[in-house]
Structure 1
Amino acid sequence: MKRLFSEREVRALAFFLPLAGLAVLGLVLARPRTTVEDAARIEHEYEERVDSARLHPFDPNRADYEELRSLGLSKYEAVSLLKYRASGKIFRIPEDVALCYGFSDSLYLRLAPYIRIGRKYALAPRDYTSERIVPEPMRPEPFLVDTVSAAYLQAIGALSRRQAQAFVRWRDLSGIRDMEELRACYVISDSVADALEPYVLFAERRPSPFEEPVEINTADSATLRSVVGIGEKSVVTIMAYRERLGGFARVEQLAEVPGVTERNYERILKQIRCDSCKIRKIDINFAAPNELGRHPYIAPRTLRKLLKTRQLKGGWSTLEELVKDDILTREEAARLAPYLQFGVRKTEKTSDSTSFGGEVPPDYFQ
């Protein structure tokens, strides 16, 4: 039988196999072993590093070791970034920081909102303008919207130069009295408004010296807009609700209007009055279903019961009957009372009946 290996090959294998085994054993023994205590210590150090981090805007091309450590970087990560710079590399865009050896994606995502590349090294766009790269923004402080300058809004990073100038022009032309009007400015996005809201102050303004308060049931949009606390959007919602309601019986009903905040409600109450004689009434016995359904105090479930009972019974003469027939609760009846009238059908045989749509005397059905 022919041999697989020659004697020379056998001697070579006998020599190299022990050497290979020793090399593998040496690598295993030389590799540092991480015990449970070491893992707990590393995790504790990481948690302490994250908790003690004070994230703030920084330039990776200029930050020193201490500043990097204060941002929550480990010694290894801080040295890695410094070595990256020492090798002649420059951070041109924030994403370059992620190229540093040992930087994880989670670390970069945590630092990304605070990375500021200085104008000296940043990549400028082809159509360069001074607005594209700005210095580190100022920390915002509370400011009065009536007097804030465009330079300040730009310095805190809220708006670009053109946006800030447009905002000041808008304010000087239209006036800004509350957050609703601030959000109405076309250069203020919702995110910017949310960021500015904790710092914006509005001057306390006295209501205009009206000879008498605004009558809310007959006032047009321009008159309502003159009331401090009613903005452009509030005017639309108030007038739409007034139309559905048929007019306000009490000024307190203004609190039911969507979009009227509690703060504005308190200010508005001092400047308006309500003439309940101006409200539009509904004839509960003969009004069309769509007319009844538009009223905000008549729920769909109530409307169905009302129409079904009216078809069978013919109508009612008092609110008390609606409560007894389980059409309305006493609370619903009290709310609807100013808006209802009870018309009766005039017959040829009965001369003392009233015509459709008329007000019924209180003692008529007794």
Structure 2
Amino acid sequence: MKVSLVVSDLSGGGTVRAYLLAQVLKELNYQVEIVGFNFGKELYAIAPDQIPVVSIPGSNYPHFFGSVSQLLKKLDGDIIYAVKPKPSSFGVALLKKLNSHRPVLVDMDDWEMSWHGGFSFQYQPGIKQFARDILKPKGALRFPDHPVYINWMESMVKYADIVTIDTQFLQDRFGGVYVPNGKDTVMFNPDKYDANTSRQKYGLSDYRVLMFPGAPRPHKGVEDVLMALEQLNREDLRLVIVGGSPYDDYDDRLIEKWGRWIIKLPKSPVEAMPEIVAAAHIVVVPQRDTVVARAQFPLKLTDGMAMGKPVISTRVGDIPEILADTGYLVDPNSPSQIAMEIEAIFDNFDLACDRGNKARKRCIERYSTSTMASTLKDALAKLVISKSSPKVGMT
């Protein structure tokens, strides 16, 4: 059987979750494809090996209808799995359901409306403004994923056959099956790598490495780590950022202000990430306490946990439950507490590594792709029973 994962924008962050779900579905012996629009110049992330990606050029309304028509022709999975409740993913999936009666799943790893004011969002234009938003070539309502449309899509989540989510926040709001952001703990295995060799390969041998293996954004609290490094003022410490942000010039602004503490490594495929994370002494995930952060399960947590690294993170959202007593938790927006934990870890690094090993065990038990696969298998089995359709099922 085949699953078509629909991604709203292959140049956006949703691709990471899509790739992860694709890997899990392959573990369950499904054929998998990723089909999505590309509104940018390049893919946000490099696809894992043997995961086919079909890219359709994105465009604004009214040309977007033509893009949708192209994408619908590419969707030939027995199951359609939309990543994010957006018109450009879930909306397309529902259209496919109407004319093919194939079951539709929708996955949420963010509260999309949190990027647009959350509970306080309102769109109440006057008549003239509404006309401009509709009629002008760059009018706001010509963008396929305008928050007005996303709000509509979130109200239609109930029409999905299965909803999957990755945080308690999202489950409280939308219900659904809890499928956390797991990690391939066979691939991410610290026993396969020598930390010193990795540091030498990536030019990090002279430093004690704090690593943020992802794209910095304001709610992710990277600035708090940099302020902590300013407080410590130790020349042997560096923050290594892997990949950087494709959205704007936020990386450049960080480097402009705190460049002496930052080393930036290029975007890398998932298969290269275990070796890169192996070079870290500490993995830092300093989320700030915003509604955006509370709705997220930071993938970087399981990067560090799977590789047995000491992880410093914040008491935000599900993070205390995910790490439990295997990490180092501080209050959000607290550079001084981050600085204290950095010093404590390096003052007794053997103890910190023992805690990192416990984090790996917890990751294997609760946050591995195998755990995700088991949960999805059960959910899809229920879908088969409810539909009683010979076209949908396990291989």
- TM-score, normalised to structure 1's length? 0.22
- TM-score, normalised to structure 2's length? 0.21
